[in-house]
Every structure is written in C-alpha cells, then in structure tokens.
Amino acid sequence: MDFDYNPSELMAAAGAREIKDREVVAVGLGLPVVASFLAKQTHAPNMTMLFELGVIDPEPVHAGVGLADPRVWHRAKVLSSFVDILGSILHKGRVDVGFLGGLETDQYGNLNTTLVGDPRGKFRHMVGSGGANDIASSAKRTIIIMRHDARKLKKTISFVTSPGYVTGGDSRAKAGMSGGPSRVITDKAIFGFHPETKQMMVISIHPGNTIEDVVGTMGFAPVVPKKVPFTEPPEKEQLRIIREVIDPRKMYMG
C-alpha cells in the first residue's frame, strides 16, 4: 500500500484525534463521518455516534450516498427519530461533540449551510440546516471541517445557519448558549479560537504549507502565535482503515 496521504485523509485523521473515548458525538455529513468512524475504530472504541435522523452507533456495510442510506445504518444500536436525537439527547446537554461541515465560516466560527451569495446580490440556496443549528447551539463543543478558500473562510458569511461565537467575546453566553466551536480543520491548517476574543487562531499548519499559504487564502486575518507547529500526519493504520474499511469506494475521500 502507498502510505502517502492526500489532504482529505489528513483532515479526517486530524478530526478523529479531536474525539476522546466515551464521548457522545453528533455527526454531520461528509468528512465528519469518516473522521468519526476512524476515531471509533482506533483510539475511541467506546464513543457513541449519533446521526440526526435517529441512528445511533451503526456498523455500515457501505459508505452510502448520505446518512439516509440504510446501508449506513447496519447493526445500529438504535433506529429512532429526529425528535429523539435532537430533543431527548442533544437539547438535554448530553452531546459532547458536534462534528459539522459547511459552505462558509467566519472568524468567530459562525457557520453557513443555507445559501451562498455574490457581490451582485444573487443567492443560491443550498441544503440548509437539518440538525446543524441544533448541534452548534447545544453541543458542549463543535468541530468544523471544510476546504480552505477565501470564499469559504470569509469576514462576513452570507447566512448564519449555525452559531459559533456570534460576534466574539462573551456574545455566545449572552445569547444563552454554552459550548461553542473548538476547532476548524481545513486542508491547509487547524484553527482554534482565542480564549478571550474568540477569534479564529492558527493551531498548526499542514506539512507542505507555509503560514503565508494559510493566511493568504483567507477572507480575514486569524490570530497567529509566534510559533506554529506542523500538523501530525496520518498514521499508516489510520490510512489503511480509511482506504480499506471506511471508504474503499472513495465516496467521501474523492
């Protein structure tokens, strides 16, 4: 097997490392699925995985074409409903991690999955919230994973589907929400959030990139510490599991 890795595999491995054993994780579509299954099959076997439509801890027989694909539900511990996942579990504060993708995010981790606009005032509607707003509002912490592009990492996003730190500082707490985004993982870097201002802050840059590559392809200026390490590459066993077990048909990894 070739153990060189692509950016998607690095993003999935980095996302998996953010999940701890025994945590309850609400999983969104796309790379969050790969990262969550990778964590469960490596260092976090006792994590609980929730899909918003009512599925808990499945053992898929296929990567599927979305979370509503029954092949992804195989041997699930629970087959229930949106109401049970979002109401009985998430809104009661039982979810440790919300793991989401998105179209756009800003410097405070506010996330857009609803529509994209252009300077001419034209908008294109996308998939919308689903359970993303509930997850971002109620999980103890949120991980966002998305491609690195100035059109996606924007100073002002077209629509706030899921709240991050709203306008920074303690504005999330003032709005009555706990938790908030803890990491943004892109194909160039990993970001956290400044403990006081809640602005996005560079945690590490991926091998092969420079800090100029990272900051120069963003629509806002993140906080940059004096020393920024490189992101740890995927391990060989992580790559094997991604390629041979989780997504052999490259439904998510492309």
Catalytic (active-site) positions: 52
121: Cβ contacts below 8 Å, ≥ 6 apart: none
The contacts found for 216-219 with CB under 8 angstroms, 24 or more apart, are: 217/148, 217/149, 217/150, 217/153, 217/188, 218/148, 218/150, 218/153, 219/150, 219/151, 219/153, 219/154, 219/155
* Distance, CA of 160 to CA of 25 (rounded, Å): 22
Helix, strand, coil shares of the chain as percentages rounded to 5? Answer: 25, 20, 55
Name the token pair of 164.
Answer: 């991050």
Q: Which residues in 129-238 belong to E strands, given as ranges?
A: 141-145, 181-185, 189-193, 200-205
Q: Using CA atoms, how far apart are residues 166 and 231, in angstroms rounded to an integer?
A: 28
| Residue 62: exposure state from Cβ atoms within 10 A (0-12, 13-18, ≥19) | middle
Q: Which two tokens stand for residue 204?
A: 């590490």
- What is the side-by-side strand order in the sheet with 200-205? 78-79, 55-56, 48-51, 24-27, 97-100, 141-145, 181-185, 189-193, 200-205
